[in-house]
Amino acid sequence: MTRKLFGTDGVRGTANTHPMTAEMALKIGAAVGRYFRKDHSAAHRVVIGKDTRLSGYMFESALTAGLTSTGMNVLLLGPVPTPAVGLLTTSMRADLGVMISASHNHAADNGIKFFGPDGFKLSDEAEMEIEALVASGVEPAQARNIGRAKRIDDGRFRYIERVKSTFPQGMRLEGVKVVVDCANGAAYKAAPEVLWELGAEVVPIGVAPNGHNINADCGSTKPQVAAEAVVAHGADVGICLDGDADRIILIDETGTVADGDQIMGLLASRWAEEERLAGNALVATVMSNLGLERFLQGRGIGLERTGVGDRYVVERMRGGGFNLGGEQSGHIVMTDHATTGDGLMAGLQFLAEMVRSGKRASELAHVFEPVPQLLKNVRYEVGQTPLEDAAVLAEIARVEADLVGKGRLLIRKSGTEPLVRVMAECEDEALLNLSVDGIVNAVTAAL
């Protein structure tokens, strides 16, 4: 069975357009409620969090209706980061966690992510079973067994305490000025509060959500404003989160941006020195830079690569017993502390290293020289299949032949948006540009 609803990170799309409609959210809620309430007993609960998108109200209500119709008791957390849902699913002994968010996408999009009772995202197999239930429909609970809904007011504070507990005991951030860009998203209160409570001087930006401005020229995908703020305020470091705060991009004191690969390289090398890097390896995706791989090899550290998506990184980490992984885009997963990527938690690990070492952010955030990498996206309409076009396939084969021994090529459909992503790495930047542009032009012509 091919999944039609679920992508690499739950169900996602433009609000009020299939599949992200209130009607479909109600069906999904009922299906996932039935999936997790197979024994029909009464003691079943689900926690629901959301980011700051306007459509979050609509989907929260629709999911609640679907879930309670099958007898699930719903605990509503309000706006909290995605990792808070993973945390609270386990700490509140829930059968299921739901996060309503389209992560780094623009405000018109929204999505629904699911966590199992262990706090980890659902497997492909579980999502396929839920899709089958959506398609076939589910029998609602009898009237006396309908679930209840209750709002939980302290979810954010529980999360804050958990994040702070990962920062070294006895260490404080006095004298450290931090710009934190919350992308007008789910961490707009939690992130500044955590940093302030640990003693930092905080310069918050992206903390005025209005339902429409999440990720709008701010956050981890648009770090330029934060970079300017770091320089203007003379800050020591900048932390950029995305809309649901499971990603981080760092900015050093000069305004230079560092991606997830650099952060993972720093943490992996530090943890290996302390003999706490499980399996002596880092788990990253096929998107991570070749420079990271060379950096790790030079320190005797392995690199395990997976498909794109933090869910697949976590699956490999759990299967191989690794405790550090992530994505170039800024998902940093530390399974000693959390079940999914946590941008704020990763930022605290970086700040702790700054305090411990006495080094500036610029000395820590750029641990390797990346191989030139170019990524371009081509948007397509639903139903189009440009990667099956003969001319596109011929161009891909030509570029792959040109790059043999010189670099690598990765082409894939995005799992969260209708985009074809064309990425290449090559020391020869002229060849790099020709390679990517040739395929992009072929895909565009096919469309």
Residues recognised as catalytic? 103
In this structure, the number of other CB atoms found within 10 A of the CB of residue 1 comes to 8
Q: Does residue 423 sit in helix, strand or coil?
A: strand
* Tokens linked to 301: 């550290």
The rounded distance, in Å, linking the Cα atoms of 33 and 73 is 10
Q: Do residues 289 and 328 lie in contact, with contact meaning Cβ atoms separated by under 8 Å? A: yes
The rounded distance, in Å, linking the Cα atoms of 8 and 307 is 10
Nearest to 353 by CA among 215, 168, 190, 125: 168
Nearest to 102 by CA among 240, 242, 226: 242
The rounded distance, in Å, linking the Cα atoms of 30 and 16 is 19
E strand residue ranges, 247-391:
248-251, 257-258, 281-285, 302-306, 324-326, 332-334, 373-379
Cβ-based burial of 265 (10 A; exposed 0-12, middle 13-18, buried ≥19): buried
